[in-house]
Structure formats: C-alpha cells, structure tokens
C-alpha cells in the first residue's frame, strides 16, 4: 500500500513476470467469476463490503484462483466447489450486506440534508448579523 496520513496513493499490479500470462489470468478470472459460484461469492464480498474496486477485486480473485490451482496440482485433487447450503449462506450474506449498505447511504443522505439546512440557517444568521453591524456603524 502507498499510504501516509490522509494521502492514499494508487497501487498498481506488478509488472514483473510474463505479460501475456498476467493478461490471460485476468481474462480467465473474469470468466471464472461469471461462471463459478465460489469465486462469484468471493468477488461480490470484496465489492459489496467496499473493500476493493472492481478491477482490484478481479486481481485479488486471480490470486485466489492461482492458489486454488496450485493446491489442486500439488494434492492431485479435483476442485470441489461449495455445496448448495454454502451458496445459500453466501446469498444470505450478500442480501444482509446490501441492506446494510442501503441503510448507510440513507443515513448519509439524511445527514447531508440536515447539514444543508444548518448551513442555510447559519448563512442567513451571518448575513443578518453583518447587516446589523453595518447599521450600528452608520449611527
């Protein structure tokens, strides 16, 4: 990460290694995210919880895919995707997280409206007090 205080710099994917392999892994990951529930749930979790931007989440899932593939190669096992029960838990979690997100955005909107009302009131009070000062100065 490239962070210091309030500054958060942009971190890019490493350019080390084979360029075509990186491109292929990203494209493969996009396909896998669209078709395999296990990786779709992981991608949605990263996006919905607001942890990562979409492209950064794809790179994170690509990393996860590489780890799964390496484990499959070394252990000589097939990929065993989660059961239907796990998928229902994932959908429940997604629903819960999206409802939290909508609640948060609703609260933010309400606080913005309140802030706007106060700023309008304060601006009105400042202009009135300023005009009174002008009137007192002219007497």
Quote the pTM value.
Answer: 0.53
Radius of gyration of the chain (CA): 26
d(CA 123, CA 56): 43
Residue 87: pLDDT band (50, 70, 90) is low
CB distance 47 to 54 below 8 Å: yes
Question: How much is the pLDDT for 48?
Answer: 84
- % of the chain residues with pLDDT over 90: 19
Q: What is the pLDDT of residues 77-86, one digit of tens each?
A: 888 766 555 6
Say what the alpha-carbon torsion angle 103, 106, 107, 113 is, to the nearest 10 degrees: 180
């Amino acid at each position: 990460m490239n962070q210091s205080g309030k500054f958060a710099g942009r971190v890019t994917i490493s350019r080390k290694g084979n360029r075509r392999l990186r491109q292929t892994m990203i494209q493969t990951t996009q396909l896998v995210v669209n078709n395999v529930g296990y990786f779709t749930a992981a991608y949605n979790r990263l996006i919905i919880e607001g942890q990562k931007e979409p492209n950064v989440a794809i790179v994170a899932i690509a990393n996860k895919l590489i780890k799964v593939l390496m484990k499959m190669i070394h252990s000589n096992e097939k990929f065993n995707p989660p059961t239907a029960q796990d998928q229902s838990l994932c959908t429940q979690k997604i629903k819960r997280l999206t409802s939290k997100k909508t609640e948060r955005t609703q609260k933010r909107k309400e606080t913005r409206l309140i802030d706007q009302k106060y700023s309008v009131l304060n601006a009105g009070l400042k202009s009135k007090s300023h005009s009174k000062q002008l009137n007192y100065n002219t007497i």
